[in-house]
Amino acid sequence: MGSYDYGKQEVCAWIRSKFLPGSTILDVGAGDGKWRRLLPDYTKMDAVEVFAGHLPELTQYRKAYHADIRDYKFDWYDLVIFGDIIEHLAVGQAQAVLQYAMPRCRDMIVAVPFLYPQGTEYGNEFEIHIQDDLTAELFAERYPDLDVLIDPGHSYCYYHKRGGSA
């Protein structure tokens, strides 16, 4: 359960180089709270999680919202982390979510596995990968406003907002 470890230390180093500990961060699809554990000095980190079963694990966040990111509205965060989320949404839904978030953050991180089919896991139907056909080329076509941030291998990649904090 939880997101992949590939490249996470490099992403954390990048975050620390671009954002002060007082920065506001939204962890979308927080799951078991891995990003919060990896960035303990960032105390203004909120979580959005659609699966109610994960909510008891998210007490370390400043605020944890039980909501679907497709419906969740916010004003501003310095950084929004979409850790292993995009593949769970239909293409149009994922594009809409990212377009909503773009002007409401200084930068965003989008972590995504490639060519990774997945069904219901741990009784959580939200774990299904709808975009299990993603490759680097297809991701670039579907999400042209994102640039590669860290590419830890052919099966997984981190992106960020074009023109963001890099």
Please report whether residue 2 resides in a domain.
Answer: no
Domain range for 120: 8-161
CA–CA separation, 59 and 79 (whole Å): 20
pLDDT score, position 1: 39
Please report whether residue 48 resides in a domain.
Answer: yes
What's at 26, amino acid-wise? L
- Average pLDDT over every residue of 4-25: 92
Question: Partners of 66 in the beta sheet?
Answer: 49
How confident is the model over 80-122, as pLDDT tens digits?
A: 999 988 988 999 999 999 999 999 999 999 999 886 555 566 6
How confident is the model over 135-152, as pLDDT tens digits?
A: 889 989 999 999 999 886
pLDDT score, position 73: 97
> From the DSSP assignment, how many helices (H) and strands (E) are in the chain?
4, 7
Exposure of 23 in the CB half-sphere (CA atoms within 13 A) = 22
Please report whether residue 96 resides in a domain.
Answer: yes
CATH number, domain of 32, equals: 3.40.50.150
pTM score: 0.89
Structurally, the chain folds into a number of domains equal to 1
State the residue for tokens 């930068």. Answer: 107
How confident is the model over 43-88, as pLDDT tens digits?
A: 999 999 988 888 988 999 999 999 999 999 999 999 999 998 898 8
Q: Helix, strand or coil for residue 106?
A: strand
Please report whether residue 50 resides in a domain.
Answer: yes
